[in-house]
Structure 1
Amino acid sequence: MSHRDEYIAKMKLQLDNLNLSIAQFETKAHAMQLDAQDAYKEGLVKLHIQSKLAIEKFDELKESSDNSWDQLVAETEKVRDAFVDSYHYFKLHF
């Protein structure tokens, strides 16, 4: 397996795991009181936006040429890191 393929597999696993956790958070939202539910759901919407951005950048990375690979790795990691930070903030506060 090439370095590129290993990197893509590792990034996919990270994004898949974060999205699985978001699904678990959504299940928790159904059991909350309405006022807490609204804030929780608002946080989930923000996480979904971050997830979508990360997946879009990841898809761009997978399709990139060798010439743009290094730049897209840096951009993808930046978007992924923002998603991870948002995830940890949500997990900490809810």
Structure 2
Amino acid sequence: MSNRDAYEQKLRAKLDELQAEVEKLKARARSADADARIDREEEIDRLEARREEMRKKLEELRHSGDEAWDDIRAGAERAWESLSEAIEKARSRFK
């Protein structure tokens, strides 16, 4: 397996973990009072939009040529860091 394939599998696994975390946050949002539930659902929507962006980056990686791969990978890393920070913030607010 090439480093590229391993990297793509790693990102795919991270996206799966992220989806599981979003599902947990959704469950917490459902148990909140009405005002908090609205805020939390809006935040979840933003997280899911970012997750979709990350999924698109993964697709770009899969279909990129060798020359563009490093640039796209760098962009995917930045997107992942931003998404991870957003998940951590949401997790801390949903307690």
Residue identity in the other structure for 2:89: Y
> Which string of whole-angstrom CA distances, capped at 9 and with x for unpartnered residues, describes residues 17-54 of structure 1?
01111012112221111111011111111101111111
CA distances 1:43-89 after superposition (whole Å, capped 9, x unpaired): 11110111111111111111111111110110111111111111111
Unaligned runs of 5+ in 2: none
Q: Provide runs of 4+ in structure 1 moved above 3 Å.
A: none
Distance 2:13 2:83 in 1: 14
Query: What is the aligned partner in structure 2 of residue 20 from structure 1?
Result: 20
In the alignment of these two chains, the number of paired residues is 94
CA distance in 2, matches of 1:49, 1:6: 25
Two-structure CA RMSD over aligned residues (Å): 0.9
Gapped regions of structure 1 (runs ≥ 5):
none
The residue type equivalent to 1:92 in the other structure is S
Identical amino acids, percent of aligned pairs:
26
Distance 1:38 1:78 in 2: 29
Distance 2:23 2:93 in 1: 17
Distance 2:61 2:80 in 1: 12
TM-score, reference length from structure 1: 0.94
